[in-house]
Amino acid sequence: MKRRVAILISGRGSNMAALIEAAKAADFPAEIAVVISNRADAAGLERARASGISTEIIPSKPFGKDFAAFEKVLEEKLGQCRIELICLGGFMRLFTAEFVQRWYGRMLNIHPSLLPSFPGLDPHGQALRAGVKISGATVHFVTPETDAGPIVMQGAVPVHDGDTTEALSERILAVEHRIYPEALRLLASGRLKLEGDLCRIDGETADGPFLISPRPK
Ligand code: GAR
């Protein structure tokens, strides 16, 4: 049986689109049962509908800082859709610790940096200002702390001299779209094991020996 997944978005939904595309494969162990947005104007909603995925809008603004009240409505929807796993894809709303605890081990997020470096806002700008030569993206389990939690998968890209935030974010986005479906595949097929703050992967293999940036002569 495929695991039933909800993707939560607030904006353009390009990671959502990558997950939807991957889940079309007959042997993918998860199905995208619903896309939920906390903003009616999220561009990703149209993309989801065009792919034949059902969508729900739960506007978060009227709830203000009452996070628990928003989550109550969200939980109801997740229950109705018989959701087992959640993928956050640019979902710009904080959760209460209670909600996160309830979904611990069943909720993934993606962040455009090699965590634990550069959590929070403007990770691309943070990377450029730090002058790192390699950055990337991280899929991790969600914990109450923002952009923290056991790391499932990371993908690295070079950072070039003269990179703008836009150029770096575009390069990282390509790796995000590659790793998020893979991380969901691992979770849905039961190959991830949480050991304290770490995530272990059954049958893990790395793609290559290393990535060096800039390229040595
Ligand atoms: C992605 O780059 C994702 O990594 C980032 O928001 C973007 C959403 O784009 N998430 C965070 O920064 C989480 N802290 P998308 O809507 O096109 O998937």
Domain borders along the chain are 1-103, 110-211
Q: Which atom of ligand 1 is nearest to the CA of 111?
A: 4
CATH 1.10.10.60 is held by the domain 110-211:
no
Mean model confidence pLDDT for the chain: 96
pTM above 0.75, yes or no: yes
**Among 10, 14, 15, 117, which is best to mutate for testing ligand 1, by the most ligand atoms less than 8 A from CB?**
15
Q: For residue 165, name the pLDDT band (cuts at 50, 70, 90).
A: very high
> Average pLDDT, stretch 52-80?
97
Ligand 1 atom at shortest distance from the alpha carbon of 112: 4
DSSP for 155-210, please give it.
Answer: EEEE--TT--HHHHHHHHHHHHHHHHHHHHHHHHTT-EEEETTEEEETT---SSS-
Question: From ligand 1's centre to the CA of 111, what distance in Å?
Answer: 6
**pLDDT value of position 85:** 98
Q: How large is the average pLDDT for residues 132-137?
A: 98
Question: From the CB of 56, is ligand 1 less than 6 Å away?
Answer: no
Q: Is the pLDDT of residue 154 over 90?
A: yes
155-160 average pLDDT score = 97
Nearest CA to ligand 1 atom 2: 112
Q: Where would I find the H helices in the chain? A: 14-22, 43-50, 67-80, 97-102, 123-130, 165-188
Would you give the DSSP letter of residue 2? P
Cα 151 to ligand 1 centroid, rounded to whole Å: 16
Phi, psi of 64 (to 5 degrees): 50, -125
pLDDT at 67: 97
Instruction: Give the pLDDT band of residue 172 (cuts 50, 70, 90).
Output: very high
Catalytic residue list contains 140: no
Is the pLDDT at 74 greater than 90? The verdict is yes
Cα separation, 152 vs 184, in Å, equals 9
Q: What is the pLDDT of residue 211?
A: 87
Judge whether 1-103 and 110-211 match in fold.
yes
Say whether pLDDT at 217 is over 90: no
CB 143 within 8 A of CB 110: no
Predicted pLDDT at 210: 84
In the predicted model, is pLDDT for residue 205 greater than 90?
no
pLDDT value at residue 24: 97
| Residue indicated by tokens 């935030």 | 165
Pairwise CA distance, residues 23 & 3, whole Å? 11
1-103 CATH choice from 3.40.50.300, 3.30.43.10, 3.40.50.170, 3.40.50.970: 3.40.50.170
pLDDT interval class at 138 (50, 70, 90): very high
Q: What was the pLDDT predicted at 204?
A: 81
Banded pLDDT at 209 (limits 50, 70, 90): confident
| Banded model confidence at residue 148, pLDDT cuts 50, 70, 90 | very high
Res 180 pLDDT > 90:
yes
Contact by Cβ (8 Å): 13, 35: yes
The answer, yes or no, to whether residue 206 has pLDDT greater than 90, is no
Structure tokens of 59? 């506007």
Q: Is the CB of 136 under 6 A from ligand 1?
A: no
Measured CA to CA, the distance from residue 139 to residue 147 in angstroms comes to 9
